[in-house]
Chains A and B, each alone.
Chain A
């Protein structure tokens, strides 16, 4: 067990003490979502701007089943993972054939397709009002998930499992192949890997994580808002992953912590907070391009130098 794992375990324990459990749970849910994106963005080098497609689809389908058929909690999670992976397979199949700008635009356009279906299919999704009334699973092994704290524990346990699985994936031969594709697609192809198929696989895995996050989100708030499948959600998860630093496994975890914590505290203060979010995007891009991790490294380097200078002056 290394320091990073310990830090995350500590955060899991401490967060609900300092934040509302709902927000703390949202942080870990968003982190699962970010992990899925990071497999594409950070490890395979695919900038998907349509991750909310999988997040939202899973939330709607599982939410609908929970609401109308009262399915078991694990069945709901399984449904979410499946729907996320299946929709990702569909979108991925269309997108992996292209690269660069085309790829980004396609993921976005297909995201819009799903969005408009959800927007217009009001009898199922509730359209603009969202799909309310999703029950949180009742008692399980004597624990009532309807209370915020047990649900938080449930979510954070799933987050830890997701993180562990993702760690195993990126450290496996598959993860290495994906990184090879990121570094040099032509060479990976030349070495004999079917690049398109591996990209699709990364898409499906990323979609499964997004789907899991989507279901947990739906059960957390008891509603699937239309926003869950909109491109803003896709943009948010990209932003969170980038501010955390997309190169590392823990980047999206840090990013979603910063993002959710900030947005939850600002959005209650001002209804026009997306304006600030946009300003934050612009500032980060123009001045802090390596994310929080790099900003910290720069700060500590500056601090070290200052200390060194002052010690030289004194001595």
Chain B
């Protein structure tokens, strides 16, 4: 009995090996995704600040965003990130729009501030001058809106209850729930510092809703929203990769 078995084992092993080799193989792949904007001509990038609301919603939106983008660009792009003391756009806005201290900000003030910001964003000469100052970088700027919204209201709920006969049934009802939402909208502009010309503009927006049991500060919510938004922002100027799996066949 032993001899035929000894003879058979390599044959079986060979057959198993052959069947193993003959099976399909799933492999992970990463396909490259080109950046939307060709930034090969730039060596440096300047996050110039953002037009925001005159009254901040719990956080200092422009400097927080500038700082966050600088950090992200430092790790995700090959461009040298310029770090000005204060975002130049916000500096220019503060200069153009001086508010007296201890004065209540009116709706008109906010509108005028926003309008002045819009004007600067479209001012090619301003960006060209700024570009000269920082050795013709790629300039990242734009508008930001961060808002808290009350989303409290009645919510439909279903509960399982046991009746006096011991049967379980579903009971539907409405319950008042306190909820709040934070939304972040960012209109990013990418400007050629050498010419002051707008190269690309794109709007991204995100929203998050919290239940009554979640006590989330505006700053935490802002970072959560920026975290979602950043890959799209980075995809504009740096290549990304899409992951997946494919099957190789023998």
On whether the two chains bind one another, the answer is no
Question: Which residues in B have some Cβ–Cβ distance to A below 8 Å?
Answer: none
